[in-house]
Amino acid sequence: MKIVFKICILTFSIIFLLQCKPKERYIHNEGFIFGTTYHIKYESTVDYHKDIILLLNEFNKSLSTYDKNSTISKINRNESFTVDSYFKECFVKAQKISEITNGAFDMTVAPLVNIWGFGFEQSADNDSLLIDSIKQIVGYKKIVLYGDTIIKSNPNIMLDASAVAKGYGVDIVAQYLLNKGVTNLMVEIGGEISAKGVNQSGKYWKVGIDKPIDDPTALNREIQEIVFVNNKCLATSGNYRQFYVKDGVKYSHTINPFTGYPARNTLLSTSVLADDCLTADAFATAFMVLGIEEGVELAKSLNYIDVYFIYFSPEDNELKTFYTEKFFLEK
């Protein structure tokens, strides 16, 4: 009887402890950061939203060109050349992608972005002479990182991290949650995404790729494709959100470092899958500069990214797509 009684007590204790254990649930955090929205979903017993906001605000102090006291702003004004850990990691990765893309991705494009009205300073009246003069201080090889110090070949060189900041911010938040023991998560900032594990339904995270419809307000969105993301990051770049029309000509926010003008080719949208979102973000921008032919050639040569391109075919007068074999888990 004593043995049976002890077994009953033990069984009751186990059941009681299981009932008292905090139940994991999918938490949804959302808000506004970096001039855009964010949505974060993760399975946890703890809501980390306050810590995530503090983390993103700290990150913003490094790479935001809209914060006059940020590391990148001080470097642009030649007030400081010492970098922090966020800036250093971002710069090193960005420079490698600049080299791989032969300069199609280039953080020194900042002065050109500004004069076309898409940057952190007021736009100026631009003409071919001004653009040609600014191009002389654009080029990723004209700035280097030596230890923790930035060295410029010309003091007028300025950096713009807007093409990678959202993606890098996604990586920062995702890694923070992983360090907390979270295994199922989806972090999205301004459309750039990191997805690990599974969603609340126990399936891979499902993400929509928009049709490239001119819509700066993003109120008339239509889905072009659905992609399942499994332990990968997805970034998309296009010319259908940030643009303006002047004298009947459309000017998009992606600036071609080679010409000094907004990128203009048949490639309308690029989506890139990679292991980290900074890499996906940078390549998505680079492909928009390169265009469909060079973009496809480069994408095929890289075995660590997968792509989905939407482009206009003048010959057929219709939209077409190109994607690498592993882009879709399910198709």
CB 169 within 8 A of CB 188: no
- Give a yes or no: residue 175 inside a domain: yes
- Give a yes or no: residue 1 inside a domain: no
pLDDT of residue 211: 85
Token pair in block for residue 220: 């008339």
From CA 26, how far away is CA 37, in angstroms rounded? Answer: 19
Mean pLDDT (whole number) for 69-73: 96
From 251, 253, 55, select the one nearest 170 (Cα to Cα).
Answer: 55
pLDDT tens per residue across span 111-132: 998 887 776 665 656 778 888 9
pLDDT of residue 30: 96
pLDDT of residue 220: 65
pLDDT of residue 35: 86
From CA 243, how far away is CA 48, in angstroms rounded? Answer: 35
- Give a yes or no: residue 328 inside a domain: no
What amino acid occupies position 308?
A: Y
pLDDT of residue 165: 94
Token pair in block for residue 152: 């410029």
Mean pLDDT (whole number) for 178-205: 97
Query: With 60 as the cut, is the pLDDT of residue 17 above it?
Result: no
The strand ranges marked E within the chain are 25-33, 36-44, 143-146, 149-152, 185-189, 192-196, 205-210, 223-229, 232-238, 243-246, 249-252, 267-274, 306-313, 318-323
Query: With 50 as the cut, is the pLDDT of residue 207 above it?
Result: yes
pLDDT of residue 235: 97
> What's this model's pTM, rounded to 2 decimal places?
0.88
- Give a yes or no: residue 86 inside a domain: yes
- Give a yes or no: residue 65 inside a domain: yes
| Strand pairing report for 249-252 and 243-246 | antiparallel
Q: What percent of the chain has pLDDT above 90?
A: 69
Handedness of CA 97, 294, 218, 122 (dihedral sign): positive
- Give a yes or no: residue 16 inside a domain: no
Mean pLDDT (whole number) for 208-232: 80
User: The domain containing residue 160 runs over which residues?
Assistant: 30-323
pLDDT of residue 24: 67
- Give a yes or no: residue 135 inside a domain: yes
pLDDT band at 329 (very low <50, low <70, confident <90, very high): confident
What's the structural domain count of the chain? 1
Mean pLDDT (whole number) for 308-327: 92
67: three-class secondary structure by DSSP: coil
pLDDT of residue 317: 87
CATH of the domain at 226: 3.10.520.10
Mean pLDDT (whole number) for 279-287: 97
State the DSSP string of 294-310: HHHHHHHH-TT-EEEEE
Surface-to-core class of residue 201, CB atoms within 10 Å of its CB (0-12 exposed, 13-18 middle, 19+ buried): exposed
- Phi and psi dihedrals of 148, rounded to 5? -110, 20
- Give a yes or no: residue 43 inside a domain: yes
pLDDT tens per residue across span 35-45: 899 999 999 99
From 277, 257, 252, select the one nearest 267 (Cα to Cα).
Answer: 252
pLDDT of residue 111: 92
pLDDT of residue 218: 56
pLDDT of residue 8: 43
Mean pLDDT (whole number) for 313-325: 91
From CA 18, how far away is CA 127, in angstroms rounded? Answer: 71
Q: What percent of the chain has pLDDT above 70?
A: 84
